[in-house]
Amino acid sequence: MTKVTMTVNGKSVSGDVEGRTLLSSFLREDLRLTGTHIGCDTSQCGACVVHVNGEAVKACTMFAVEADGAEVGTIEGQANADGSLNVIQQAFQDHHGLQCGFCTPGMVMSAAALLKDNPKPTEGEVREYLEGNICRCTGYHNIVKAIMAASGQDVTAIAAE
Amino acid sequence: MPKDTGIGAATTRREDVRFLTGRGQYTDDIQTQSECAAVFARSTVANGKIKSIDTSAAAAMPGVLAIFTGDDFAEVGGNPAGWLINSRDGTPMHEPKRPVLAHGKVRHVGDAYAAVIAETVAQARDAVEAIEADIEELPAIVDMKGALASDNYVHDEIGTNQCFDWGWIEDNRAATDEAIKNAHHVTTLELVNNRLVPNAMEPRCSIGHYNPGTDEYTLHTTSQNPHLTRLLISAFVMGIPENKLTVIAPDVGGGFGSKIYHYGEEALVLAAAKKLGRTVKWTADRTEAFLTDAHGRDHVTKIELALDAEGNFLAFRTETMANVGAYLSNFSTATPTFLHGTLMAGNYTVPLVYVNVKAVFTNTAPVDAYRGAGRPEATFSLERVIDKAARELGMDPIELRRKNFVKPDQYPFASAAGLEYDSGNYDALMDQMEKVADKAGFEARRKESEAKGLLRGFGVNAYIEACGIAPSNLVGVLGSRVGLYDAATVRVNATGNLSVMVGAHSHGQGHETVFPQVVAEMLGIEAESIDIVHGDTSKIPFGMGTYGSRSLAVCGSAVVRATEKIINKAKKIAAHMLEASDEDITLKDGVFSVAGTDKSVSFGEVALKAYIPHEFPLEDIEPGLEETAFYDPANFTYPSGAYCCEVEVDPETGKVRVDRMTAVDDFGNVINPMVVTGQVHGGLGQGIGQALVENTTYDENGQLLSASYMDYTMPRADDLPFYIVDHSKGNPCTHNPLGVKGCGEAGAIGSPPTVVNAVIDALQSGGKNVTHIDMPMTPHRVWSAMNNA
Sequence-ordered list of residues with C-beta below 8 angstroms from that of B401, at least 6 positions apart, any chain: B347, B348, B386, B426, B430, B460, B462
Q: For the residues B557-582, what does the mean pLDDT come to?
A: 97
For residues B117 and B41, is the Cβ–Cβ distance under 8 A?
A: no
Does residue B388 surpass a pLDDT of 80? yes
Averaged pLDDT for residues B758-784: 97
Q: Could you give the dihedral angle defined by the CA atoms of residues A111, A116, A118 and A120, in that order, rounded to the nearest 10 degrees?
A: 80
**ipTM value greater than 0.90:** yes
State whether B709 and A134 contact (CB < 8 Å): yes
* pLDDT score at A161: 43
Half-sphere exposure of B447 (CA within 13 A, CB side): 3
Residue B469's pLDDT is 79
- How far apart are the C-alpha atoms of B481 and B730, rounded to whole Å? 33
pLDDT digits (tens, 9 = 90+) for A12-31: 999 999 999 999 999 999 99
Partner-chain residue, chosen from B21, B253, B510, that has the shortest CB–CB distance to A76? B21
Nearest to B717 among A74, A130, A158 (CB): A130
Residue A159: per-residue pLDDT: 65
Query: pTM of the predicted model, to two decimals?
Result: 0.97
Q: Is the per-residue pLDDT at A125 higher than 80? A: yes
Q: Is residue B366 a contact partner of residue B258, using CB atoms and an 8 Å limit?
A: no
Q: What Å distances lie between residue B737 and A132, B522, B625, CA to CA?
A: 44, 12, 22
Mean pLDDT of B744-754: 98
Q: Which of B438, B401, B405, B443 is nearest to B424 (CA)?
A: B405
Report residue B518 CA to chain centroid gap: 23
- Pick B252's closest partner by Cβ from A45, A100, A103: A100
Closest CA to B273 of B461, B66, B412: B66
For chain A, how far is it from start to end, CA to CA, in angstroms?
A: 52
Domain residue ranges of chain A, discontinuous segments joined by +: 2-77, 87-150
Contact between chains at B202 and A37 (C-beta distance less than 8 A): yes
- Enclosing H/E stretch for B668: none
Helix B426-436 and helix B397-404: axis angle, to 10°?
A: 160
Distance CA B191, CA B302 (A): 6
Residues on chain A touching B711 (C-beta within 8 angstroms): none
Residue type at B118?
A
Residue A44 near chain B (CB below 8 Å): yes
- pLDDT of res. B229: 97
Cis peptide before A105 (omega within 30 of 0): no
Average of pLDDT values for A36-56? 97
Question: Rounded to the nearest 5°, which phi and psi values hold at A5?
Answer: -135, 135
What residues have CB less than 8 Å from B44, skipping those under 6 apart? B109
Q: Is residue A86 within 8 Å of A79, Cβ to Cβ?
A: yes
Whether chain A has a CB inside 8 Å of the CB on B744: the answer is no
How far does B380 lie from chain A, in Å, by closest CA? 20
Q: Choose among B383, B434, B297, B438: nearest CA to B757.
A: B383
Is residue B535 predicted with pLDDT exceeding 90?
Answer: yes
Q: Is B285 helix (H, G, I), strand (E, B) or coil?
A: coil
Instruction: Give how far A86 is from chain B: nearest CA, Å.
Output: 10
Q: Give the chain B residue whose CA is nearest to the CA of A44.
A: B709
Q: Where are the beta strands (DSSP E) in B351-391?
A: 352-361
Task: Please report, for chain B, the start and end positions of each structural domain, with discontinuous segments joined by +.
Answer: 16-22+485-631, 437-464+635-789
Architecture in CATH for domain B16-22+485-631: 2-Layer Sandwich (3.30)
Rounded Cα distance, A61 and A43, in Å = 6
B300 contacts B144 by C-beta, under 8 angstroms: yes
Peptide bond into B260 cis (omega under 30): no
Task: Report the candidate in A49, A65, A96, A118 with the shortest Cα–Cα distance to residue B201.
Answer: A49
Q: A87-150: what CATH class?
A: mainly alpha
Q: What's the rounded mean pLDDT across residues B289-309?
A: 98
**Whole-number pLDDT of residue A2:** 96
Backbone φ and ψ for B242, nearest 5 degrees, come out as: -55, -35
Put simply, the answer to whether A101 touches B253 (Cβ < 8 Å) is yes
Q: Is the dihedral of CA B306, B416, B735, B408 positive or negative?
A: positive
pLDDT score of B306 more than 60: yes
| CB neighbours of residue B104 within 10 Å | 13
Other CB atoms within 10 A of residue B511 CB:
26
Cβ proximity of B346 and B383 under 8 Å: yes
Chain A contact for B710 (CB, 8 A cutoff) = yes
Q: Do A144 and B19 touch (CB under 8 A)?
A: no
Q: What is the pLDDT of residue B4?
A: 74
Q: Is residue B234 very low, low, confident or very high in pLDDT (cuts 50, 70, 90)? A: very high
Q: Is A110 on the interface with B (CB under 8 A)?
A: no
- Asked if B142 and B704 count as a contact pair (C-beta separation under 8 A), the reply is no
Query: Strand order of the sheet with strand B64-69?
Result: B64-69, B112-118, B35-42, B279-283, B205-211, B216-221, B245-248
Cβ within 8 Å of residue B752, ≥6 positions away: B376, B379, B380, B687, B688, B690, B691, B775
Residues B190-198 have a mean pLDDT of 98
The CATH fold of domain A2-77: Ubiquitin-like (UB roll) (3.10.20)
Q: Dihedral sign, CA of A53, A56, A61, A64?
A: positive
Give me the mean pLDDT over the A42-65 stretch. Answer: 97
Yes or no: say if B84 and B479 are a contact pair by the CB < 8 Å rule.
yes
Residue B714 CA neighbour count, 13 Å, CB half: 29
**Dist CA B424 CA B401 (whole Å):** 15
Q: What percent of chain B has pLDDT over 90?
A: 97
What sign does the CA torsion over A135, A136, A139, A142 have?
negative
Question: What pLDDT, on the 0 to 100 scale, is given for residue B3?
Answer: 56
Concatenating the DSSP letter of every residue in chain A gives -EEEEEEETTEEEEEEE-TT-BHHHIIIIIS--TTS----SSS-S-TTEEEETTEEEEGGGSBGGGGTT-EEE-GGG-S-TTS---HHHHHHHHTT--SS-SSHHHHHHHHHHHHHH-SS--HHHHHHHGGG---SSSTTHHHHHHHHHHTT---TTS---
Checking DSSP bridges between strand B640-649 and strand B455-464, what pairing results, if any?
Answer: antiparallel
Contact between residue B246 and residue B538 where contact means Cβ atoms under 8 Å apart = yes
- The stretch B591-617 carries a mean pLDDT of 96
Nearest CA in chain B to A108: B20
Q: Give percent above pLDDT 90 in chain A.
A: 96
pLDDT at res. A157: 82
Strands B35-42 and B64-69: unpaired
Mean pLDDT of B730-757: 98
Q: How far is B534 from chain A (nearest CA, A)?
A: 15
Whether the predicted pLDDT of A72 surpasses 70: yes
* Mean per-residue pLDDT, B489-501: 98
Residue of A nearest to B676 (CA): A161
Mean pLDDT of chain A: 96
Q: Under an 8 A CB cutoff, do B718 and A133 touch?
A: no
- What is the distance between the alpha carbons of residues A73 and A89, in angstroms, rounded to a whole number? 15
Whether A48 has its CB under 8 Å from any CB of chain B: the answer is no
CA distance readout (Å), B767 to B717, B760, B763, B775: 32, 11, 7, 21
Q: Is the pLDDT of residue B181 over 90?
A: yes
- What does each C-alpha distance from B431 to B380, B438, B750 come to in angstroms? 22, 11, 17
**Does A142 contact chain B (CB < 8 Å)?**
yes
Q: Which residues pair with B479 in a beta bridge?
A: none
The pLDDT score that the predictor gives to residue B142 is 98
User: CA–CA separation, B239 vs B233, rounded Å?
Assistant: 7
Out of 3.40.50.2300, 3.90.340.10, 3.40.1160.10, 3.30.365.10, which CATH number does the structure's domain B437-464+635-789 have?
3.30.365.10
Q: What's the pLDDT score for residue B470? A: 73
User: Do the domains at B16-22+485-631 and B437-464+635-789 have one common CATH topology?
Assistant: yes
β pairing state of A55-58 and A49-52 = antiparallel
